Amino acid sequence: MIRSLLINLDSATGRRAHMQAEFGRLGIAYERICAVDGSAADVQGRAAQSAFGPGEIGNFLSHQKVWDLIASRDDNYHAVFEDDIYLAPALAWFLSDESWIPVDADIVKIETMLMAVNVDSQVIDVAPGFGLRRLRSTHWGVAGYIISAKAARSLSARKLAPERPADHVLFGFGEKQPSGLAVYQLDPALCIQHDVIAEGLPRGSLLDSTIQPERDATAPQRRRKTALMRIASELGKLKPMMARAWHGRVVRIKIPFAGID
């Protein structure tokens, strides 16, 4: 069985109730990990010297806290979730056993942002209607992933500073992604963030992103830096990606969400 960890602020009781209901309807046990609060004085201090806001930094430090915890345990894998997501029914099956995970997989991304991504054309069938592909390009979002103890120990040992968002570190190819991490994408995905489903709709849900307004209000020079980082992320692996595509080993697809019953 793969243990589930939920990142959740002490103050986010509404989101906690939402995730309790999500896990409850699937019969999945989970352990709540107290998120790092972006309003804390030390986080605010870091943000004053950073290209990113306190919410983004708090999010990074929350995931880093989880990596450190996983690194200290004996389990082969843990599933990590944020608290603004919807879960597909099939998640329970995937967390009941770890034998479906390839031996070389450091991280399996089980979330989708419904963006076009590059993945291996070769598919590993892991369950009826589900396949695994090596992820070969950036796929934003860090709200749902399975991480190996080996990868967590590598991340923990690096003592990474919050100089970029957590998803840039795990899934931002070409952008100082920790070397040696083999990332797989589950297709279709087992979780999706509320903001992805509600894109374009009026805000007002307790699951609305608390970081996005912060990003929108970021000073222009900070937005430019973020944009440059994202461009560098894509260009960093453009040549090898094109080579793989030329030989038919990579395809560009949108990962769907497996859905809710």
| The predicted structure's pLDDT at residue 132 | 98
Q: Are 150 and 73 in contact (CB under 8 A)?
A: no
Closest CA to 102 of 130, 75, 134, 79: 134
Which carries the bigger pLDDT value, residue 168 or residue 45?
Answer: 168
- At residue 224, what is the residue type? R
pLDDT category at 173 given cuts 50, 70, 90 is confident
| The predicted structure's pLDDT at residue 243 | 46
Closest CA to 113 of 175, 185, 174, 169: 185
Domains plus CATH for the chain? 3-254 (3.90.550)
Average pLDDT over the chain, rounded to an integer:
85
- State the average pLDDT over residues 117-121: 96
Q: Are 53 and 225 in contact (CB under 8 A)?
A: no
| The predicted structure's pLDDT at residue 248 | 64
pLDDT in tens, 32-74: 999 998 666 476 766 556 677 787 888 999 999 999 999 999 9
**pLDDT exceeds cutoff 90 at 148:** yes
